[in-house]
Structure 1
Amino acid sequence: MSTSATGLQKLVVISGLSGAGKSVALRTFEDLGYYCVDNLPAELLPAFLSTFDNEDLTRTTSLAVGIDARSRYGQSRNLAQSLQELRTGDLDMRVVFFDCSEQVLLQRFADTRRRHPLSNSGLPLLDAIREEARMLAPVREIADMVLDTSHHNVHRLRRDLLSHFSSNEVGNVTLLFESFAYRHGIPGEADFVFDARGLSNPHWDPELRAMTGRDPRVIEYLNAQDEVQLFTQQVRDLLDSWLPRLARDSTRSYITVAFGCSGGKHRSVYLAEHFAAWARDRHWPDVAVNHREIE
């Protein structure tokens, strides 16, 4: 398939072991503006790519697809070969494989109480993990990047992906807007930290307490506060002045702007979402959001 006529420029195929972080990766790519599809049967990938001839999808230039052991493709050797055949001069395609140690995977499945996809065939958990690793070994061999997440938490994984998949050039630095609760500590990687604890707290309204800063009623509540309008305007002025300078002088590929409040659920979440939308309106190429306490 030729992608030159469709406008599709980037394809990231996400594969790897269950529990190693593929779902987090897809959410991160979605934040980066990729069109994301999970658990696509590998044999349908060429046909799916051809749908980007549809004029409704021609504005999509970056695609991330999750393919794993749940695929009905059959032999993983054939899967690896088919992925290799999709590499063309027109399409920037990368295969990212998520790996993890057996011990850590066992602990993660125990903590989440989720069933391993291959457990449905009656395999004990450890046997299922080993069988999946065997099935996907050919894909691991042809991967452009193998990311071992044995010592990663969600936040480190997101930051690593942002670092790998954004440019170091000025104007292409990824902005990560993060919300957090002060009682759990300030994010160590933050370049800017803004304290929202002086703003009116929706937590004290019983009707808003169970909601988050993403909910329309909480947004409406905070938008109506003069102090919130003053706070956001002053932060916008500061970021307008200093973000471009930091981007020009930084050797990193992302900048983190963190907003903290007491519980990390209402005010900080509202502000992270607000400024992510603001940055997109400013046509900043890559914008991501991470809500540390609610994700």
Structure 2
Amino acid sequence: MELVLISGLSGSGKSVALNLLEDAGFYCVDNLPVVMLTVLVDMLREEKISKVAVGIDARSGGGIELLPERLQQLAKNGVRYRFLFLQAGEETLIKRYSESRRRHPLATQNRTLEEAIRHESALLMPLAELGQRIDTSELKANTLRDWVRQFIRGEPADGLTLLFQSFGFKHGLPLDADLVFDVRCLPNPFYDPALRPLTGRDAPVIAFLEAAPQVRRMREDIARFVGDWLPSYVRDNRSYLTVAIGCTGGQHRSVYLAETLCRQFTGQAPRVLVRHRGLA
């Protein structure tokens, strides 16, 4: 069975992810009580259903704290799973609910929207470390769909997935980052009119950056830090390590370094990925 679990904050894009999985042929169950997870999996295995996606969040009622135990039980029973946790900043969630005019599932007569968001965050954030996190604050729906496709495309890997992610500081720090490197001190191709519309994937920008000794030194320093500490994260039984690299706009310097480091570390972890928030 290919089991994908989707959790996260209300308004962060769980419905987008589950709809994509359903379109990809997964048998989808949303708002499942945690205590029913192993029962559902056993039942569907008997029915020979091979692709299953389950949404678990604060609407599922009590017992959310039992999820790590249930996942361990699934693993002991030979079920391989992947866990995706979606989140977004408080201001983004408030804006989304205001625009959609939908009611937050934890909002009550005595609890405002802001209080409901904070309450749900307190309930669910301990689950964020169970798998891969995606901060959807600045993502368009199509970009989220692409990232979820990448998430389900490969086979579940034993060991750590290393993700290099570029971003722009002007859009704020990504909430899903484990390590953050600020590269705004490097020469900026933005100030060259010919390079401004290009990205860190384009040859002229790459040539510009590789000609600067500071860029080479920054790349080597980041690679050395990640390389030195990667074994410690592996020993800590981490499933994912997200290394975020930020420049001002997330278009040139951070993109170049994320791409370069991804190539450099390919083969040093079971799975190495690269993503660019500023190019969405």
**TM-score relative to the length of structure 1:** 0.50
CA distance in 1, matches of 2:109, 2:59: 12
Residue 121 of structure 1 and its aligned partner are, at CA, apart by 6.1
Q: Which runs of 5+ in 2 are unaligned?
A: 156-280
The question of 1:109 aligning with 2:97 is answered yes
The question of 1:62 aligning with 2:43 is answered no
| Residue 121 to residue 91, structure 1, CA distance change in 2 (3 Å) | farther
| Preserved CA contact (<8 Å) 2:35 2:66 | no
CA distance in 1, matches of 2:62, 2:86: 19
CA deviations 1:200-219 (Å, max 9, x no partner) are xxxxxxxxxxxxxxxxxxxx
Aligned to 2:61: 72
| Preserved CA contact (<8 Å) 2:6 2:85 | yes
| Preserved CA contact (<8 Å) 1:73 1:79 | no
| Residue 167 to residue 83, structure 1, CA distance change in 2 (3 Å) | closer
CA deviations 1:65-120 (Å, max 9, x no partner) are 0010011233x332333233322473221111001000000000000000001003
The match for 1:161 among 138, 148, 153 is 148
CA distance in 2, matches of 1:109, 1:29: 24
The match for 2:13 among 16, 21, 24 is 21
Alignment of 1:244-263 (within 5 A): none
Aligned to 2:32: 40
| Residue 53 to residue 94, structure 1, CA distance change in 2 (3 Å) | closer
CA-based RMSD of the aligned residues comes to 1.8
CA distance in 2, matches of 1:121, 1:65: 30
| Residue 20 to residue 86, structure 1, CA distance change in 2 (3 Å) | same
| Preserved CA contact (<8 Å) 1:13 1:95 | yes
Aligned to 2:240: none
Question: Which aligned runs of 4 or more in structure 1 are off by greater than 4 angstroms?
Answer: none
Match of 2:103, SS state, is coil
Bigger radius of gyration among the two: 1
CA distance in 2, matches of 1:100, 1:130: 12
Aligned to 2:126: 138
Residue 17 of structure 1 and its aligned partner are, at CA, apart by 0.1
Alignment of 1:173-188 (within 5 A): none
Aligned to 1:148: 135
Q: Which runs of 5+ in 1 are unaligned?
A: 1-8, 169-295
Residue 163 of structure 1 and its aligned partner are, at CA, apart by 1.9
Alignment of 1:200-211 (within 5 A): none
CA deviations 1:192-243 (Å, max 9, x no partner) are xxxxxxxxxxxxxxxxxxxxxxxxxxxxxxxxxxxxxxxxxxxxxxxxxxxx
The match for 1:83 among 71, 96, 99 is 71
Identity %: 40
The question of 1:99 aligning with 2:91 is answered no
* Counterpart amino acid of residue 138 in structure 2: H
